[in-house]
Amino acid sequence: MNQQLLQFKQKYQGHWNATGKKQKYLYIGSFIGIIAILSLTIYFLTRTDYVPLYSNEMSQKEIGDIKAALDKEGFADYKLDTSGTRIMVPRENAADLQVSMAAKGLPKTGSISFFDMTKDLQFGATDRQLDAMEREALQSEVADLLRHVDGVKNAAVVISTPQDSLFVREDNKKSASASVVIEMEPGYQLEQQQVQVLYHLVSKSVPNLPKENIVMTDQDGRGLNVQDESTKVLDNYEMQRKIQKDIETDIQSSLQQMLGTIIGQNKVLIQTYVRLNFDQVKTKEDLVQPANDASKEGIAISVEEISKKYNGRDAAPATTGTGETDIPGYATPGGGQENSSEELEKRVNYEVNRISNEIVQSPYKIEDITINVGVEPPDPKNPDSLTLVTQRSIQQILGNVVRTALSDNPSLQDQDIESRITVFAREFSGKAELPQAEETGSPFPAWAIYALIGAVLLMALLVIYLVKRRNKHEFEENDPFPEIEAARLEAAVSVEDQKVVIKRQIEGMAKEQPDEFIGLLRNWLSGD
């Protein structure tokens, strides 16, 4: 057995000595990598996955109570997080521990319902006790509601409600009030719309609580206030002012670019002023139109015809009886006239097209515009050197801009357009610095960029050449089969140079491997 182990050891040492440096490094690296992978796999498969016993953060006192209860039960496989406000337990034991702690009444903080407060309430509790419990439950529910808002980590709410009285009139009834402290997530900042949502939630959750009676701050004591009407008006003014300036700048930049290209950037100066209509008008139209445009009639949906005829005799005019057989004071009937009548009635119900349009006109319409253009003539000392043709061309260009901007005004005449345009020629006393767009190109000249690219390519080729040369030199030094290379060398040279080649090999072997050369020489001598 020992002999086999010794042979295996000698065989392994021989194979290891015959292996090159790169292969040795490869074997060692592979062995270390396999060990590392196996270690990590075993670690991740066998480690305990800890989860928070309760998701919400608790006070130090409550953490101590829960920790004492776990130690009393003999459960020691838990740990505290870095902040000390949460207890971490194994995932498989979390549910059982929550039930066990709930049976002991832990934790004592958190969302408490009115039922939880009154389940152990004894008989004879007063109204003040019930009101206090109800207010406490309401505060807990409102705080839990605020925690559902994005960015709110925790919330504390204190509500003050006035006492009801039978002798207070409705108009003199006091309102409730609330104080709220919001703990924000790290690095989170509430926007004004979110602050309004928080105020709205608190106001609608508590009866008779107006927003004016709510005080809200963050954990650093900074007030979270809702903007008043004056602030909103100021914000609207700033927004409208910015929109007006943007439109003026766009028109001015477009004209400056076009006229500056024709006349010269430093030869023209443009000033534009616009008046906008910021009203957003909503119009509703209820139109009734006939179904048939030719006859201007609708569609008959029902027709009713009624025909009536009458036949009879008219009563003749009677006279008071005066004859022998007549009764005084009574009219004597006489013969009447035969007559007839006919009545026709036709009723038709028509259906028409009923169209309902809701039109919302977009704001930011240009109601008026004024453009002033100053042009420096070719001869600054002579304003008449700017020809009349050039002035009229500039006025025509500006007139097209004004006509397009005021296209919603159908009563606009040519003289109205000309009155909004001013073109004057004079020498510029100072050159205005025109705003220029940011150049997206490189600040370096093109030849410098090309030279830099060429230098980088040259350096890359030089590095590749040096790396290949170094690798070739290392391969020649670590080649485990030098006799193969020698054989190739002998086959490449001619027969006349074989002696020279052999001599050089012997000299090289004597210099590089003197021990092996001495051993080989001794073998030759002993053989002789």
Q: Are 195 and 180 in contact (CB under 8 A)?
A: no
What's residue 274's pLDDT? 92
Is the pLDDT higher at 476 or at 16?
A: 16
Query: What's 399's domain CATH number?
Result: 3.30.70
Residue matched to tokens 């009677």: 318
Spatial CA neighbour of 273 closest among 362, 146, 405, 178? 405
Q: Is the pLDDT of residue 180 over 90?
A: yes
Contact present, 368 and 277 (Cβ < 8 Å): no
Q: Is the same domain home to 204 and 299?
A: no
| One domain for residues 78 and 123 | no
pLDDT for 34:
87
Tokens of 437: 């767009």
Predicted local distance difference test score (pLDDT) of residue 370 = 92
Total domains in the fold of the chain:
5
Range among 137-151, 152-166, 447-461 rated most confident: 137-151
* Strand positions, DSSP E, 169-228: 177-184, 214-218
Q: 101 phi and psi, to 5 degrees? A: -70, -35
274 and 382 in a common domain: yes
Q: What is the pLDDT of residue 440?
A: 47
In which residue are the tokens 């020698």 written? 486
Among 104, 133, 148, identify where a domain stops. 104
Percent of the chain topping pLDDT 70: 77
Looking at per-residue confidence, does 474 or 355 come out higher?
355
93 and 21 in a common domain = no
Do residue 25 and residue 99 come from a single domain?
no
First to last CA, the chain: 41
As a whole number of angstroms, the distance between CA 66 and CA 69 comes to 5
Whether 70 maps to a domain, the answer reads: yes
Is 60 a member of any domain?
yes
Query: Do residues 263 and 370 both lie within one domain?
Result: yes
Cβ atoms of 53 and 96 within 8 Å: the answer is no
Candidate ranges 57-66, 265-274, 323-332, 339-348; pick with highest mean pLDDT: 265-274
Is 471 inside any structural domain?
A: no
Q: State the CB neighbour count (10 A cutoff) for residue 434.
A: 14
Same domain, 380 and 352: no
Q: What is the 3-state secondary structure (H, E, C) of 60-93?
A: HHHHHHHHHHHHHHCCCCCEECCCCCCEEEEHHH
Query: Residue 34 falls within a domain, yes or no?
Result: yes
SS3 content of the chain, % helix, strand, coil (to 5): 50, 20, 30
d(CA 290, CA 354): 9
Percent with pLDDT over 90 in the chain: 9
Q: Answer yes or no: is 253 within a domain.
A: yes
Q: What is the pLDDT of residue 226?
A: 78
Question: Are the CB atoms for 20 and 56 separated by under 8 Å?
Answer: no
List of residues 6+ apart from 347 with CB closer than 8 A: 303, 304, 305, 306
In a domain, 435, yes or no: no
Residue 373 and residue 410 in one domain: yes
Task: Specify the amino acid at residue 405.
Answer: A
Most confident of 26-40, 82-96, 277-291, 363-377: 363-377
- The pLDDT confidence band at residue 214, using thresholds 50, 70 and 90, is very high
Span 446-462, average pLDDT:
73
State how far the Cα of 85 lies from the Cα of 61, in Å rounded to an integer. Answer: 10
Strands (E), 400-477: 421-425
Find which of 29-33, 120-124, 374-378 is predicted with most confidence, using mean pLDDT: 374-378
Distance CA 258, CA 236 (A): 33
Is 438 part of any domain?
no
The C-alpha atoms of residue 51 and residue 94 are separated, in whole angstroms, by: 8
**Domain of residue 353, residue span:** 282-311+339-360
Using the predicted structure, report yes or no on whether residue 484 has a pLDDT greater than 70. Answer: no
Residue 430: pLDDT above 80?
no
Supply 13's token pair.
């040492």
The β-bridge partners of 216 are 180
Residues 129 and 179 in one domain: yes
**386 and 369 in one domain?**
yes
Please indicate, yes or no, if residue 306 is contained in any of the structural domains: yes
**Which residue type, as a one-letter code, is found at position 388?**
L
Domain CATH for 182: 3.30.300.30
Work out the mean pLDDT of the chain and round it to a whole number.
Answer: 77
Same domain, 404 and 394: yes
Do 182 and 199 share a structural domain?
Answer: yes
